[in-house]
């Protein structure tokens, strides 16, 4: 066999085996450096195989450069191949993120009537209504939500069984909200107590960016859950995406300049402190729609493996059209197909649509046809 053909065979084998590693990692579920070691071993295998062919040094140098490219290509091909699986449908645990206009006085009864029709058609169970933001010290200004009680009362009458949760959060950064400050954490929980006094059925916290393994977020959720449980209310949280293999979060943070992925282990720790967890599975930067579907399938599978059965899992669906890493591939149709492909027997998964004020008629049509019907 000519050396050039043997090089091509080795390259193809590296790509295929990389895809196999990713699939086995998702199927087995456990989070370990083993997967990183296997991917590194495949890259080394490729380089060693080329070296043993006794080719020119320039070819060997090229093989070294191509090693990470082949591994990435294998991962991308694996994402594309996942579209071949069978698919499930909606399970009745879906949610909608809603903008601040619903509580600051800009929405009227006619707007609520249209919303009620939309919620009934889409069969949403939870509505996350933006009721903040929290101040940088964790407190909540009541002047931000003058229409909150009216909205909650109106929706409860029109949509019995639908839970209206207050979406609270802020930017976590130096000079902004500091989760490491005990006083700020106390005020965050007190802010949740205030919105429950308005009649909300739960609190949905969204803090960004929060790095992998952050213990301060866990402290907030632990205390908040004691408060919500004492009042028979729901505690929900937005979560970063789950890293495909251990260590990916460091790569993502380096490239993006902020946390993007959490480990499966940390996702599990967060989930054990809440009633509901919503993975923000968008702004991925993935350029191909079918690959984004595969990515959502992976996110769904990984979430189901680490989130306790008694905790609701929701996967974010991008119904917006701008953002630093949002691509044309991130469509509603691609997202809901990926979620359906990722559902495992005996577990329910909800779709969480982001966000009501940016969703187009086409977004809603894709959601209804691809997920609800």
* CA pair distance 312, 304, nearest whole angstrom: 9
pLDDT of residue 56 exceeding 80, the answer is no
Q: What is the pTM of this model?
A: 0.85
State the pLDDT at residue 180.
98
What tokens were used for 92? 């009745």
pLDDT tens digit sequence for 243-256: 988 777 666 666 66
pLDDT tens digit sequence for 338-350: 999 999 888 999 9
Looking at domain 94-372, its CATH architecture is Alpha-Beta Barrel (3.20)
* CA pair distance 45, 343, nearest whole angstrom: 34
Q: What is the rounded average pLDDT of the residues 332-342?
A: 96
Lowest mean pLDDT among 123-127, 155-159, 207-211, 325-329: 325-329
pLDDT of residue 133 exceeding 70, the answer is yes
The residue count of the chain comes to 373
SS (H, E, C) 263-332: CHHHHHHHHCCCCEEEECCCCCCCCCHHHHHHHHHHHHHHHHHHCCCCCEEEEEEECCCCCCCCCCCCCH
Helix 289-306 / helix 57-81 crossing angle, nearest 10 deg: 70
Average of per-residue pLDDT values in the chain = 90
**Sequence ranges of the domains in the chain:** 3-84, 94-372
Higher pLDDT, 181 or 36: 181
Confirm if 313 and 353 have CB atoms less than 8 A apart. Answer: no
State the pLDDT at residue 250.
67
pLDDT of residue 273 exceeding 90, the answer is yes
State the pLDDT at residue 290.
94
State the pLDDT at residue 197.
98
Lowest mean pLDDT among 73-77, 100-104, 279-283: 73-77
Q: Which residues lie across from 354 on neighbouring strands?
A: 318
Higher pLDDT, 2 or 357: 357
State the pLDDT at residue 88.
64
pLDDT tens digit sequence for 218-269: 999 999 999 999 999 999 999 999 998 877 766 666 666 778 899 999 999 9
pLDDT of residue 169 exceeding 90, the answer is yes
pLDDT of residue 97 exceeding 60, the answer is yes
């Amino acid at each position: 066999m000519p050396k050039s053909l043997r090089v091509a065979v080795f390259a193809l084998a590296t790509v295929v085996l990389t895809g196999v590693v990713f699939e086995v990692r998702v199927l087995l579920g456990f989070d370990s450096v083993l997967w990183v070691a296997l991917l590194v071993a495949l890259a080394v295998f490729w380089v060693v195989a080329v070296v043993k062919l006794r080719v020119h040094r320039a070819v060997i140098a090229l093989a070294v450069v191509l090693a990470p490219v082949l591994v990435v290509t294998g991962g991308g091909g694996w994402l594309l191949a996942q579209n071949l699986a069978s698919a499930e449908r909606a399970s009745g645990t879906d949610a909608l993120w809603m903008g601040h206009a619903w509580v600051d006085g800009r929405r009227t009864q006619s707007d609520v009537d249209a919303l009620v029709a939309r919620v009934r058609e889409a069969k949403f169970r939870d509505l996350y209504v933006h009721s903040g933001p929290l101040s940088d010290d964790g407190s909540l200004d009541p002047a931000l939500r003058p229409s909150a009680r009216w909205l909650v009362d109106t929706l409860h009458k029109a949509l019995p069984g639908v839970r209206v949760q207050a979406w609270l959060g802020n930017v976590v950064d130096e000079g902004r909200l500091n989760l490491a400050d005990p006083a700020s954490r106390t005020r965050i929980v007190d802010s949740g107590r205030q919105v429950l006094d308005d009649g909300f059925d739960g609190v949905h916290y969204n803090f960004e960016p929060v790095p992998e393994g952050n213990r301060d977020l866990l402290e907030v959720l632990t205390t908040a859950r004691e408060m919500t449980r004492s009042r028979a209310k729901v505690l929900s949280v937005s979560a970063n995406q789950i890293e495909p293999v251990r260590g990916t979060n460091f790569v993502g943070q380096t490239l993006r300049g902020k946390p993007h992925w959490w480990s499966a282990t940390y996702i599990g720790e967060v989930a054990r402190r809440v009633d509901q967890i919503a993975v923000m599975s968008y702004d991925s930067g993935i350029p191909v729609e079918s690959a984004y579907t595969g990515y959502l399938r992976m996110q769904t599978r990984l979430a189901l493996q680490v989130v306790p059965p008694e905790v609701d899992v929701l996967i974010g669906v991008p119904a917006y059209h701008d953002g630093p890493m949002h691509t044309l591939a991130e469509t509603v149709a691609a997202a809901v197909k990926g979620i359906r492909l990722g559902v495992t027997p005996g577990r329910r998964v909800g779709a969480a649509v982001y966000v009501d004020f940016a969703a187009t008629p086409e977004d809603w049509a894709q959601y209804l046809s691809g997920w609800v019907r």
